[in-house]
Amino acid sequence: MDFEYNQRQKKTRREEFLDAMDAMIPWSAWIAMILPFYPSGKRGRPVKGIETMLRMYLMQIWFNLSDAAIEDAIYDSYAMRSFMRIDFNEEQVPA
């Protein structure tokens, strides 16, 4: 699917927006700010990576999506999956 997607002539507005946000946001600084407060995963459910969760949370805000809707959007939208840096061949969708 990546091959077909990359052969397109034009980017979607969603893809352009997510690319701009990816370039604009200081990810390492935000992650460093969140890290002291992020769960360690020693108790309860295993935690997902900070950057993955931050990217998902931001997309929920930008596109006004519920938890269930963001999960569906990640499955349905290559642009969102790419922004989240998710490869279904390697890992599971964040919950």
pLDDT digits (tens, 9 = 90+) for 51-69: 999 999 999 999 999 999 9
pTM across the whole model: 0.77
pLDDT of residue 46: 79
Report the alpha-carbon distance of residue 40 to residue 33 in Å, rounded: 15
Half-sphere exposure of residue 36: CA atoms within 13 angstroms, side-chain side:
3
pLDDT of residue 91: 52
- The segments of the chain whose pLDDT lies below 70 read 1-8, 90-95
Report the alpha-carbon distance of residue 80 to residue 14 in Å, rounded: 8
